[in-house]
Amino acid sequence: MTDISRILVVGSGAMGSQIAMVCALSGYEVRVQDISDDSLARAEAQLRARIDRNVTKGRLTEADRDAAFGRMTFTTDLAAAAQDVDFVIEAAIEKLDVKRELFARLDELCPEHAILTSNSSSFIPSRIADATTRPDRVCNMHFFNPALVMKCVEVVRGEATSDDTIEATVELTRSLGKLPVLLDKEINGFVANRILTEIRREAMFLVDGGYASPEAVDTACRTALGHPMGPFELQDLTGLDIGYYSQLGRFEDSGDPVDKPAESLAERVEAGHLGRKTGRGWYVYDAEGNKTGVNRWN
C-alpha cells in the first residue's frame, strides 16, 4: 500500500487551506499550491489566526503549532510542489474542465505511485480520472466545511479505482482524525450533499414562492429540526458560488429542470454576493464576520 508522508493540496480557498492544516496538524508534510499569491497569503494569515485561538484556549501548545506550520509550504509553483508527493487533494474551483486540465497536469508532474484525489462535492471520480493515465489511483476525498471541525469525509470509488487506492485513502482519513464514509458506487453529489440539496431545494421553493423569508426558514430548521444552521446560513458559510456550480453541474448531467439552480441563487452569484467570504450572501456580515442583517434583494 502507498506509504504517505508528503501531501499536496491544490487550491488555498476555505476548503483547501483548512484541509491542508488538518493534514499538517496530523504530522504530514504539506504543500499548499494556488495560482494566486494573494490567496496563499490570505489562507496562511487566516489559518494562523484560527490556530492561535487553539493555543490561547490551551488546546494546542505553541511548539505543536509551530511544528505544524513548519511542515507547511505555500507556493504557486505546481511542478516543484508535485515532484515528490505521495498523495494529492485537489480543492480548486468546482468546474469540470478546470479539474480535468489540472488532473492531466498532476498526472505528468507527480511520482508514479502518487494517489490523486479530488475534494469535489459534485463531480464523480470517473469524470476526472480519465484525464489521467492512472485512473486506478484516482478517487474523491470529500471534506465538509469547516474542514477543521467537521468529522465526515466521503471517500468515493470511481469505476477504475483500485482497492489499494480506496484502502490508502480511508486509512489517511482515519489518521487525520476524521470518519470515512465510503461510497461503493459513484453518484453525483454523493451522500451528504444529495440530502442537503433536497433540503435546499425545498427551502428555495418556500422563499421564491413568497411563503417564508430565508430567516424564517433558517429559524425553523434550527429550532424545529435541530440543525446547527439553517440552509441559507449554511450556504453563506460554504459559499453561494460552490452551491450554484455544483447544482449547475448536476443540471448539466441530468438535464432535469428540477436540478436547475434557482433564479434567486443565480442572481446573487452573478452580483458577487457569495456569502461570508464577500460579506454578503443571504445575510450581511461585518468585517469580523458577525451577521448584521438580511441581504435585501430588489
Residue 163 CB, nearest approach to ligand 3HC (Å): 25
By beta-carbon proximity to ligand 3HC, the closer residue of 134 and 214 is 214
- Pick from 49, 63, 149, 287 the residue near ligand 3HC by CB under 6 A: 149
Write out the binding residues for ligand 3HC, residues 175-204 only, by CB under 6 A.
193, 196
3-state SS, residue 57 = coil
Q: Got the DSSP string for 100-117?
A: HHHHHHHHHHS-TT-EEE
3-state SS, residue 3 = coil
Contact 50, 149 (CB under 8 A): no
| 132 DSSP 8-state letter | S
3-state SS, residue 33 = strand
Binding of ligand 3HC at residue 148 (CB under 6 A)? Answer: yes
Write out the binding residues for ligand 3HC, residues 150-179 only, by CB under 6 A.
150
- Pick from 9, 25, 141, 234 the residue near ligand 3HC by CB under 6 A: 234
Q: Got the DSSP string for 186-247?
A: --TTTTHHHHHHHHHHHHHHHHHTTSS-HHHHHHHHHHTT--SS-HHHHHHHH-HHHHHHHH
| 37 DSSP 8-state letter | H
Q: How many residues does the chain have?
A: 298
> How big is the site for ligand 3HC, counted in residues (CB under 6 A)?
15
**Which of 65-73, 227-235, 254-262, 264-272 is the region at the interface with ligand 3HC (rule: CB under 6 A)?**
227-235
CA 254 to chain CA centroid, nearest Å: 23
By beta-carbon proximity to ligand 3HC, the closer residue of 196 and 203 is 196
Residue 56 CB, nearest approach to ligand 3HC (Å): 10
**Which of 110-118, 148-156, 164-172, 174-182 is the region at the interface with ligand 3HC (rule: CB under 6 A)?**
148-156
Binding of ligand 3HC at residue 19 (CB under 6 A)? Answer: no
By beta-carbon proximity to ligand 3HC, the closer residue of 86 and 275 is 275
Among residues 134, 147, 146, the alpha carbon closest in space to that of 87 is found at 134
Contact 140, 103 (CB under 8 A): no
- Pick from 2, 26, 29, 50 the residue near ligand 3HC by CB under 6 A: 50
**Which of 35-43, 98-106, 144-152, 266-274 is the region at the interface with ligand 3HC (rule: CB under 6 A)?**
144-152
Q: How far apart are CA 156 and CA 183, in angstroms?
A: 5
Residue 9 CB, nearest approach to ligand 3HC (Å): 15
Backbone angles phi, psi at 115, to 5 degrees: -90, 135
By beta-carbon proximity to ligand 3HC, the closer residue of 84 and 253 is 253
> Which three cell numbers mark 84?
515528490
Binding of ligand 3HC at residue 226 (CB under 6 A)? Answer: no
Q: Which residues bind ligand 3HC (CB under 6 A)?
A: 50, 121, 144-146, 148-150, 193, 196, 228-229, 234, 238, 242
